[in-house]
Amino acid sequence: MKRTLWITLCAVFLGASLSYGNAAPKPPEQNWSFEGPFGTFDRKALRRGLQVYREVCASCHSAAHLRYEKLKELGFTESDVKAIAAEYEVPGPVGEDGNTKPRKAEPKDFFAHPYPTEAAARDANNGALPVDLSMVIKARPHGPDYVFAFITGYAKAPSDLKMAPGMHYNLYFPGHQSAMAPPLSDNQVTYPDGTPATVDHMARDVVTFLAWASEPEMETRKRMGVMVLIFLSIFTAMLYVLTKRVWWHIKHPS
């Protein structure tokens, strides 16, 4: 019995050690405009991030929980949103042959998937399934810091690390072997506002966009929270004054 317990404990500690050795380091903390109780989204960064997503990320990654009509919150007009949606196709009605026919997306539709099926996505990505990006900031520990570190964390693999075929070394990916190649390179996009399209800047912009995509109502929630706190503070002060007035004549025993 003791021997079995000892073997079990050794196995647990050995597994923990191996997991720790393969674990990615904690990503460096970044400064984001949307963090903190009064944080807000930089609208210019959001529009640039949308551009990076559309021109770089959308060829492999979906954003299946985001509707095109939400883009009006970024300053786009209704006609702009219709034009953006019309660039993509989504499954349409079922035809007489029993198959769905594609149609142009409309503002009410969710963002289009880049692949028709999961099998097609895996075939195009060395067997790996590209994650959906609409909730990736919420789904990952350290959220925006991790996604930014992952995007910018590609490097040359150490000489003592045997890389699997088709994998790419990443400092912040668990196990350090990612099936996704480095997605960004300098001047990969051209920003209409003239902002330099460096890897760092594009990564920050697309992370800002993905943070908004994961919680478009964040600013409204924060404003409501501040208003509630102000109301509770005033209500508490009024209740304190009222209590003192009502009970001021009551003498407490010494």
Q: What is the pLDDT along the chain (254 residues), one digit of tens a residue?
A: 444 433 333 333 333 333 334 567 899 999 999 998 889 999 999 999 999 999 999 999 999 999 999 999 999 999 999 999 999 999 888 777 777 788 999 999 999 999 988 999 998 888 889 999 999 999 998 999 999 999 999 999 999 999 999 899 999 999 999 999 999 999 999 999 999 999 999 999 999 999 999 999 988 888 887 788 888 889 888 888 888 777 777 765 55
Q: 190-227: per-residue pLDDT in tens? A: 999 999 999 999 999 999 999 999 999 988 888 887 78
Joined together, the tokens standing for residue 116 give 């028709």
The DSSP annotation for the chain comes to: -HHHHHHHHHHHHHHHHHHHHHSPPPPPP---TT-STT----HHHHHHHHHHHHHTGGGT---TT-BGGGGGGGT--HHHHHHHHTTSEEEEEE-TTS-EEEEE--TTSBPPPSSSSHHHHHHTTTT--PPPSTTHHHHSTTHHHHHHHHHH-B-PPPTT--PPTT-EEBTTSTTSEESSPP---TTSS--TT-----HHHHHHHHHHHHHHHH-TTHHHHHHHHHHHHHHHHHHHHHHHHHHHHHHTTPPPP-
pTM for this predicted structure = 0.81
Tokens 């050795």 locate to: 21
